[in-house]
A and B are shown apart, each in its own frame.
Chain A
Amino acid sequence: MRKAFSETLTRLAAADPRIAFVTGDLGFQVFDEFENSFPGRYINAGVAEAQMIYTAAGMASEGWKTVAYSIASFATARPFEQIRYCVAYPNLPVILVGAGRGYLYSTSGVSHHAADDLALMSALPNMTVVAPGDPCEIEQLLPQLFALNGPAYCTVGRFGEPSYLAEEPAVLGKARLLRKGEKVAIIGTGEIANEILKAYDVLTAEGITPFVYQMHTVKPLDTATLGELSQKVETLIVVEEHVPYGGMWSAVADWGVREGLPCRLLRLGPPDSFALGNLKQNELRKRWKFDATAIADACRTAWRR
């Protein structure tokens, strides 16, 4: 996904001379082509996330369309007030890009975990929050984020995730149907979609066919699709690699309470806890029961209810 991001950004910047890129000293060799192609429009602010945001915001206030890039935890929690005060409040066209959200850098420790980024960014007025799940999705969504001409947070996964097939293209603000189904729907955001699809493959072999939706846009939440879906299924399962407060689960549950949800709502995801032990990402997902096996188990139980 990171390669797709870099290539898409470079392509968009070639077409739009107002696009500039600011990094917080991260992305070794990832943005070489951008840097070489657009000198002056590639800026390394150094290990200075506040300054990264200032540079992006100050330039945006002068008519530039800027991208600020760092590891997700350092892109969001570290300069949160700069984002709030200098980007969201003045409503400036800055796309904040957080690499490796969730527990992608799980073995690096809590410093590198970003399981609260969606909550932090969703709390900000004017902010659009997007977590693509595969290279194609980021390629499709990035130009739509530039077209917003306002503040956005977008996550980028690692190198080399598989691209998945989907029933429809990725449209900003709209839930994306990955697999048609019945009775049960599994919805996720970000690259947990890949884990959900693994579970889906296991389930279909058993004759269990749930809907799978990728909610790449966390904010604004596509409540229209959720509303229709909740009429069609008995159980909605939200899978998230995010703390239980303020992420996709929170958003869906909040909407469900307001609307009077006609179906059951389940959550699979980490508890309200720091992820200690420096486990590998798949081990962590297993321990906290939101890996493919746990997703398949939960779906199977819901299907047979």
Chain B
Amino acid sequence: MYATALDERARTIRATTIQMAHDGREGHLNGALSCVELLLCLFDGWLRIPREQEKAPERDRFIFSKGHACASLYAVLAERGYFPVSWLDRYATDDSPLPSHPCIHALPLLDCSAGSLGHGLGMATGKAYGLRLDGNSSRTVALISDGECNEGSTWESATFAASHKLDNLLLIVDNNGVQSVGRSDDLMGGTSLEEKFTSFGWAARTVEGNTTAAVKMALSEVPFVKGKPSVIVAKTTAGAGVSFMQDQVLWHYRVPSDDDLQRALQELGATPLHKRSNP
């Protein structure tokens, strides 16, 4: 299989993310690594969010709801030039623009803070409804974890989005299968997210979420059905890209040691965008 430029960049984002987790002494690598391709594809020209004009009314809105996994979001935003790469070494430090859970007061270019799970889709529905009422054709995207589909509020929001025919809304579920202390299949009775969303009135599609071509293809077809909200159920791997982290509950919390970091960087064959000079 040949590697695209996007796949190359994915390796660099992963290396950067693991470096940040190491330097900032923050875990949550499972979810940060599982959504790298999703973030890269969204920010590879699909999302219309002009740099320096992140609050322009006509921009697309993006809510990263799985706040704990934000290291890779920060890495992608830095790589895309939304803020200097040098900021990355302030990840999870005091008074940082890049706290361990994203905060709009710390990083105002964001559309939403995140940390408490299950709010991202709801906020997105309110935005999408308000934008449409304004005659604004901007799209609203929420990226949530499969664990957030445990939250009842997610399904209140799913109901609302379908009943109001919010086809300006795209939900992406990072279905990496691993939660904080268990596996999502066990916690959700092995049920299908695509079927659930379909039965809630959504246009749903399941894709290989760590494959950039598949993600790009799905994004290019949004909205899947006119008059329905779209959801991409992205089948991903927790801790994707690093053999000894992949698909293990342990790496939800674990902070990489010096040794873990070196092994991961070696395996990825990539150099982090930035690392703390004096960690």
Contact = CB atoms under 8 A, between A and B. Distances in A.
B198 interface: no
A105 B5 CA distance: 64
Given A51-B125, A62-B127, A86-B122, 18 more contacts: A40-B133, A46-B160, A48-B156, A48-B159, A50-B157, A54-B119, A54-B122, A54-B156, A55-B160, A57-B122, A58-B122, A58-B124, A58-B130, A59-B126, A59-B130, A62-B136, A82-B119, A90-B104
A211 interface: no
A126 to B, nearest CB: 11
A54 B116 contact: no
Nearest to B61: A62
A44 B59 CA distance: 28
B116 A50 contact: no
A112 interface: no
Interface in A175-228: none
Contacts of B23: none
B111 interface: yes
A103 interface: no
B159 A58 contact: no
A56 B104 contact: no
A89 interface: yes
25 contacts: A45-B156, A46-B160, A48-B156, A48-B159, A50-B122, A50-B156, A51-B156, A54-B119, A54-B157, A55-B125, A55-B126, A55-B129, A56-B126, A58-B127, A59-B126, A59-B129, A59-B130, A61-B126, A62-B134, A62-B136, A81-B116, A85-B116, A86-B122, A90-B104, A90-B113
Contacts of B126: 54-62
Given A63-B130, A82-B122, A86-B123, A46 B153 contact: no
B189 interface: no
A289 interface: no
B127 A85 contact: no
B152 interface: yes
Interface string B142-153: 000000000011
A16 to B, nearest CB: 14
A89 to B, nearest CB: 6
Interface residues of B, number: 27
Contacts of A53: 122
Interface residues of A, number: 27
B77 to A, nearest CB: 19
Interface in B96-134: 104, 111-113, 115-116, 119, 122-131, 133-134
Interface in A40-91: 40-41, 43, 45-46, 48, 50-51, 53-64, 81-82, 85-86, 89-90
B58 to A, nearest CB: 12
A168 to B, nearest CB: 38
Nearest to B164: A43
A59 B164 CA distance: 14
Contacts of A51: 122, 125, 153, 156-157, 159-160
Contacts of A55: 122, 125-126, 129, 160
Contacts of A56: 126
Contacts of A45: 156, 160
B184 to A, nearest CB: 21
Nearest to B152: A50
A55 B157 CA distance: 9
B133 A54 contact: no
A58 B125 contact: yes
Contacts of A82: 119, 122, 153
B130 A48 contact: no
